[in-house]
Amino acid sequence: MNVFKRLLRSPAGAAGLALLALLALAALCAPLLFPGDPLAIAGPPLTPPFTDPAFPLGTDRLGRNVLAGLFHGAQASLAVGLAAAAVSIVAGALVGTVAGFAGGLVDEALMRVVDAFQTVPGFLLALAFVSVAGASLAVVILAIALGAWTGPARLARAEVLSIRERDYVAAARIIGMHPAEIALREVLPNALPPVLALAAVIVGNAVLIESALSFLGLGDPNIVTWGSMISEGRNVLRSAPFLSIVPGIGLVVTVLGVYLLAEELADALATRKARP
């Protein structure tokens, strides 16, 4: 609660929260405001923005409503970002906890796996995985998570290394708790808060990677994404630049909000941890 109050008092934190709240509102309202298929032809092609009340942001080359695509694209970005962050945090926290708590050869082996994944840039790993496994929303989420779980794993391991020697962990060993139970019930919950602070950064990176994959034609073809909208607009960039500018603004606003919130959240958690 104190962390949330600090975010609201900070201009950057409040701005980040406001931008992400706007994104969440657009995603939630997309099925209500635009209940039809956003990929369906809705009007004449290449209608300029603010010339037809039925299409405030115009239409694309096929006559699809740009505003409907923008709202449904927010839904896709939010879904991919949150899902990829959840998978990365869960996988990374579990691997980091096992490595830090077990120590020895287990720690060494798991950290070498983490090193191997970290040598490959996240986007290239996602690009290769999607190219092999095929383009679908679930595959894109898994592909992004494959490159993002190493950060939470390293941070969780560092936290566990400091927690495992504390008195309550020693007391749990004395009363005969199983090591796995100690790791999951006593150690992991106390190591999670710093790891969760990475979620905002992972969401921002996931949104950018998903948009880049969609721009290259490797996103899910059955849903509207901002990356696919930008890709569609590049073919008529000179005559209808709004087709790329509108979803591009959506991407900028989303990533800016995520990083503003992430920076303030990290500062708030660091201050809280530093208090005696």
**Mind listing the domains of the chain with CATH numbers?**
67-274 (1.10.3720.10)
Distance in angstroms (rounded) separating the CA atoms of residues 3 and 33:
34
Distance CA 256, CA 265 (A): 14
Higher pLDDT, 275 or 238: 238
106-160 pLDDT, tens digit each: 999 999 999 999 998 999 999 999 999 888 889 999 999 999 999 999 999 998 9
pTM higher than the cut 0.75:
yes
Q: What is the pLDDT of residue 4?
A: 66
Q: Please return the burial class of 168, using the count of CB atoms within 10 Å of its CB with bins 0-12, 13-18 and 19+.
A: exposed
More confident residue, 7 or 12: 12
Question: pLDDT band at residue 228, thresholds of 50, 70 and 90?
Answer: very high
pLDDT number for residue 3: 62
Q: How far apart are CA 187 and CA 164, in angstroms?
A: 7
Least Cα distance to 246 among 28, 64, 29, 83 occurs for 64
pLDDT of residue 141: 94
Q: Could you tell me which of 14, 150, 173 has the C-alpha nearest to residue 94?
A: 150
pLDDT tens digits along 58-90 = 999 999 999 999 999 999 888 999 999 999 999
Quote the pLDDT of residue 272: 56
CA distance 105 to 64: 57
